[in-house]
Amino acid sequence: MSNIAAFNRPSAQLFDRQIHLHHESLDEIIALIDEPIDFVLNGCDQHVPFCEQLASILTPALANNPQTSAIRGNKFQQQEAMKKHHLPYIKQLLISREKPAYDQLQELTFPVFAKPLNGGGSIGIFKALTVADLTHKLAQSPAMVNFEPIDYYLVQEYVTGSEIIIDACSYQGNHSFSHVFTYKKHLINGVPVYRTIETVEDVVLTQAAIDFARKVLMACAYDNGFSHIELFYTDNGEFRLIELNPRISGASGLPNMMAEAVGFKSQDTLLTQYLRSGVCDDSDFGQRNGFAKALLLYTHEAMDFSVYPSYQSHILISDTSLASHKDPDLTDLRKIVFLYHSSKEVIEQDTVAILNKDLF
C-alpha cells in the first residue's frame, strides 16, 4: 500500500475485506481467489482491458465485452464512438507528443484544448491559442502521468460551458444513476484548477444530463460496472462528452458521501441493492435534503475547520508544501473538506471563508 500514491490509495473503509495482489497475470490472480465473486469493479482508468478480461472469466454474466475495451479505456475512441452513433461529439486530433505532425496542426481551428491520451487528474492539460503556442506547450508538457509515459496528446476543439458529472452503476445493460454534480474551477496561470464539487440543484438539468449519459453508455458499449461520466453543458443548452471514466467516482469518495448526505443513493448503495435484489432504482432527485459541497484545498497549513457550522469532515492527503513553481493539478491536493447544512447560505459563507485561506 505504501507504494500507492495517497490520492489513488484505496480507503481502508471500503468493503469488508481487501486483498492486494501484485500480479499482472490473469491466471495467477484467478488461482489465488478462493471464494465466489459477485462483481468485478474497475478501479483505474488505465487498467480497463485487464479488468474486463478478468470479469469475463470470473463473472461472465456481468462483464463488458473485452473486444470493445478500447472504447472505454481510450478518450479518443470514446469521441469516435459518439460520432459513429450520430451523437454530438467534440472534434479532435490525435498527435504524437514528441513528434507532432505540423501539417495536421495547421488543420486545427484555434483555440484548442489538449490533454494526454492516457491522462487523469488534470495532469498535463492546457489551452493553446495558436499552432506556435500548441507546439511550445507540447514541448514543455510532462513526460509521465500515473507512472506511465505520455506518448500521445488528444487535441480537441475548445468547448465552453459548465462541467456536469454523472455517477452511475450498471448491470446487464441497466443503468442506475446516483448523483449529478458539477466542478467549479479557477484559472491559475491559464490552467483550470478544481476548487469545489457541488450537487446540481436543477432537477430538469439533472434529468437531461442523465438522458445524455444513457446515450454515452450505449455508444461506449458499457453494460456493467460503475461509471463517472463528465460532460460539457454548453451555453446553448447542448451536451458534449468530455470523457467516460469506467470506475467509481473519485476525490477520495467525497461525491458519494455528498450523495448520501442529501438523501441520494451512493454508487456502492446502488450496487448493493442490485446484488441483494437483482434490481435497483435511481436516486430520487426530486427529494433533496439540505445542501452538500466539497472544497479542494492546496495549502499544507493546518486549519481549524470546526469553527464552520457546515463542516462535517475532511481528508488529509498530504501535509507537505506545494512547489511554488508548479501549476497545480489534482495530484497536488492537500485536503478535501466536506460541508453539509440545511441552509445554502451557511454553506456559501463557509465556502468563501475557507477558500480565502487557501493558496489561490
CA–CA separation, 289 and 204 (whole Å): 17
Task: At 236, give phi and psi (nearest 5°).
Answer: -95, 15
Q: Are 78 and 220 in contact (CB under 8 A)?
A: yes
What pLDDT score was predicted for residue 270? 96
Residues of the chain with pLDDT under 50: none
CA–CA separation, 57 and 37 (whole Å): 10
Give me the residue label for grid cell 432504482. Answer: 281
Which sign, positive or negative, has the C-alpha torsion 19, 21, 26, 28? negative
Taking the CA atoms of the chain, what radius of gyration do you get in angstroms? 20
pTM of the model: 0.91
What pLDDT score was predicted for residue 107? 79
What pLDDT score was predicted for residue 147? 72
What pLDDT score was predicted for residue 6? 60
**pLDDT by residue (tens digit) across 315-346?**
998 889 887 666 777 788 899 999 999 999 99
What pLDDT score was predicted for residue 295? 97
The grid coordinates of residue 287 equal 427529494
What pLDDT score was predicted for residue 35? 86
DSSP string, 332-355: G--EEEEEEES-HHHHHHHHHHHH
What pLDDT score was predicted for residue 324? 67
DSSP string, 70-98: HHHH-HHHHHHHHHHTT-----EEEEESS
Nearest to 162 by CA among 81, 242, 259: 242
CA–CA separation, 284 and 179 (whole Å): 10
What pLDDT score was predicted for residue 5? 61
Q: List residues bridging with 92 in a β-sheet.
A: 156
